[in-house]
Amino acid sequence: MKETIRHACINCKHFQQHYFWCKNKFLQAHCGFCMQRKISKNEYKKFPFFEGCEIWEMQEVIKPKDDTHIKELLVSIERKLEQIYYYLYSKE
C-alpha cells in the first residue's frame, strides 16, 4: 500500500516551527512562519495551512553519513554525563 504524504505546512521544508519554554523543556507551539512566502493577515488566521500551498516542498530527511561518528558522539556524551554525576554526588 502506497503511503500518501499530506502537503501541509508542517511537512514543508520552508516552514519554521515556533517553540516555547515550559517546565524546563521546549514545547511546540501551534504556529510558525514560512521562509518563502509572505502570509497576509487574513491568511495568518489559518496558518499553518493544513493543505499547504503552491510552493510546498517535502522536508529533506538528514541521514547520518557515518555511524561511527554517531557512536563517537554517544561515547563523548556518556563521559560528560559521568563527570556530571560524580561532581553532583561527590558533594554529599
- pLDDT tens readout for residues 15-61: 888 888 888 888 888 788 888 888 888 887 777 788 878 888 888 76
Closest of 53, 47, 48, 56 to residue 13, by C-alpha: 56
Rounded CA gap, 11 and 24, in Å? 27
Rounded CA gap, 12 and 56, in Å? 6
pLDDT at residue 78 tops 90: yes
Choice between 24 and 84, residue whose per-residue pLDDT is larger: 84
pLDDT at residue 10 tops 90: no
Instruction: Report cis status (omega within 30 of 0) of the bond before 64.
Output: no
Give the contacts of 11 (CB within 8 A, at least 6 positions apart).
5, 52, 56, 58, 59
CB 13 within 8 A of CB 58: yes
